[in-house]
Structure 1
Amino acid sequence: MSDTQAGKDGSVLGPMVDTVPDIELEAEAPAAPQVAPVKSAFRSRMRTAAKLVLGLIVLPYALIFVYLVPFTHPVSTLMLGDLALFKGYDRRWVSFDDISPVLVQSVMMSEDGQFCAHSGVDWTQMRGVVDDALKGVPTRGASTISMQTAKNLFLWNGRSFLRKALEIPLAMASDLVWSKRRMMEIYLNIAEWGPGIYGIEAAARHHFKVPASKLSRRQAALLAVSLPNPYTRIASKPGRGLRQLASVIERRAAGSGDYIKCLYD
């Protein structure tokens, strides 16, 4: 409908038309889906957990290089556990040169006769253990001194495939970075020789009232054979079986010769 529009003098100017502006209707875009707050928080926690796990895996390898420095005195996870439980412990660090050679010989002949020959893992012994496990035969130990050192420094006690899977590359990396003397020095200073007794100096004084440099061949053999379980194998109070085992190690240590050349060249 239109109306006429009159001018000031009464003349008709023309029809008056109601005009409606053209409005272009735009379809509303669908709102972008929003991530639920719960899912976002879960992903954030997962990322944090992944970073933490990665850090825990990388940290031991970084520490291997730190422990290459001679004046660093590493502590074991068992020692840290004792501190966390407010138990305390006795450990007196001594250099490799201040440890009686007969103790070094005895430990090698008792724990790892091929220490100078392998690169952290004795694969011949390891294959034997795997074969026995596949046959259902009770397995014997195949941990080298390098593997025991890696376990004591970075891992936990107890037998598990996970721990062994972590232990082997750590042992190989340690053996690659450290000299054999440094490996043995660290091992003998963190090994457990009784409740709260860590390292050969504390062990020698606790069991025999002498420093590690003054151990006799017999005392060294008794300490060496007590290593697998120092809670039941007490070097200063050996039973008949432990005395017999110590005698075997004494004889082996006396004939160790070329087996220990990598430590005294």
Structure 2
Amino acid sequence: MRSRTKRTGKDPRPRPALPTPQQSAWLPGALGQFLKALRWAGLALLLLVFLPAPLLLVGRFVPTWYTPLMFLRLAEGEGLQRQWTPLEKLPVPLRSMALASEDQLFCSHGGFDWKALERQLQRVQAGETARGASTISQQTAKNLFLWDGRSWLRKGLEAWYTLQLEVIWPKRRIIEVYLNIAEMGPGVYGAAAAARYWFGKDLAAMSRLELARLIAILPAPRAWRAEPASANLQARARQIDARARALGELDACVR
């Protein structure tokens, strides 16, 4: 009969460490928090992607009183001056000047100026600084729904919203909303509020050159002043006025 020997050596194979009670409780909890955060992130992304369409359907007929940018500026300590003005009361020269300065092909494109975007891409490839190539439609979509910044997420959402904007709104509605919500001074939004802020006048009492100054500050409304205007800004305003007079039929959709 074979005798049995008692094994006294340790098993050389490593055994996985068993989680402590604290670890056992922590792991499911952490996983649950992660999944919950993931669900909220997914819901937020769905809202960002799909919510603008119904809002645009409503916004085609209802004035836009507030935008995310307005609340962000309020949080930064700026005021909030805005005054909704129907398209019929926005001076025709003001509408034409907006196109002359910001988007001369506004009446003919579908939301994007592809040639301008191609030129900016060439500038980037050449190592130069890209300049703004956003159309009025893109700027309106950004002002309606988004925040300042240059992230790829914001630019992607801006492009998606611009496509929806061009499908749902006519050009006259786009220019109407643009001229009512565009930032035109520190805490000042829209042409009517800007006319009051800078000149103490109603839009109807403004001269062509004064209207041109309002448009001239659009690229940097928190840094440039419409009144008193610098020599450079006055020259820019005269150039915008001249371009608006020379548009011909390019501004037909906003008259």
TM range, smaller chain? 0.7 to 0.9
Q: 1:52 aligns with which of 35, 44, 48?
A: 44
**Is 1:73 matched with 2:77?**
no
**Is 1:99 matched with 2:90?**
yes
**Is 1:130 matched with 2:121?**
yes
Q: Which has the higher contact order (CA 8 A, sep 6+)?
A: 2
CA drift of 1:86 comes to 6.7
- The sequence identity of aligned pairs, in percent, is 38
CA drift of 1:193 comes to 1.1
1:193 aligns to what SS in structure 2?
A: strand
CA drift of 1:83 comes to 4.3
Distance 1:136 1:225 in 2: 28
Structure 2 counterparts to residues 13-92 of structure 1, below 5 A: 36-69=28-61, 71-84=62-75, 87-92=78-83
Asked if the contact 1:119–1:175 (Cα under 8 Å) also holds between the matched residues in 2, the reply is: yes
1:119 aligns to what SS in structure 2?
A: coil
Asked if the contact 1:92–1:201 (Cα under 8 Å) also holds between the matched residues in 2, the reply is: yes
Q: 1:165 to 1:41 in 2, by over 3 A?
A: closer
* Aligned match of 2:188: 197
Name the aligned partner's letter for residue 138 of structure 1: T
Q: 1:251 aligns with which of 234, 242, 255?
A: 242
* Aligned match of 1:158: 149
CA drift of 1:91 comes to 0.5
Asked if the contact 2:63–2:84 (Cα under 8 Å) also holds between the matched residues in 1, the reply is: no
* Aligned match of 1:8: none
Q: Unmatched 5+ residue regions in structure 2?
A: 1-26
Distance 2:221 2:57 in 1: 30
User: Which one has a bigger Cα radius of gyration?
Assistant: 1
Task: Supply the RMSD in Å over aligned alpha carbons.
Answer: 1.9
2:85 aligns to what SS in structure 1?
A: coil
Q: 1:46 to 1:235 in 2, by over 3 A?
A: same
CA drift of 1:57 comes to 2.5
Distance 2:40 2:198 in 1: 47
* Aligned match of 2:198: 207
Asked if the contact 2:212–2:240 (Cα under 8 Å) also holds between the matched residues in 1, the reply is: yes
Distance 2:63 2:164 in 1: 18
Aligned residues between the structures: 230
Asked if the contact 1:103–1:215 (Cα under 8 Å) also holds between the matched residues in 2, the reply is: no
Distance 1:90 1:142 in 2: 28
CA offsets 1:171-198 (integer angstroms, 9 cap, x no match): 1210111011100010000011111111
Q: Unmatched 5+ residue regions in structure 1?
A: 1-34
Give the structure with the larger helix fraction.
2
Asked if the contact 1:204–1:211 (Cα under 8 Å) also holds between the matched residues in 2, the reply is: yes
**Is 1:174 matched with 2:157?**
no
Distance 1:58 1:219 in 2: 40
Distance 2:76 2:123 in 1: 38
Distance 1:48 1:231 in 2: 35
Distance 1:85 1:244 in 2: 32
**TM-score, scaled to structure 2:** 0.83
Name the aligned partner's letter for residue 37 of structure 2: R
Q: 2:136 aligns with which of 132, 135, 145?
A: 145
* Aligned match of 2:212: 221
1:229 aligns to what SS in structure 2?
A: coil
CA drift of 1:220 comes to 1.2
1:36 aligns to what SS in structure 2?
A: helix
Greater displacement, 85-94 / 179-188 = 85-94
Q: 1:112 aligns with which of 103, 112, 116?
A: 103
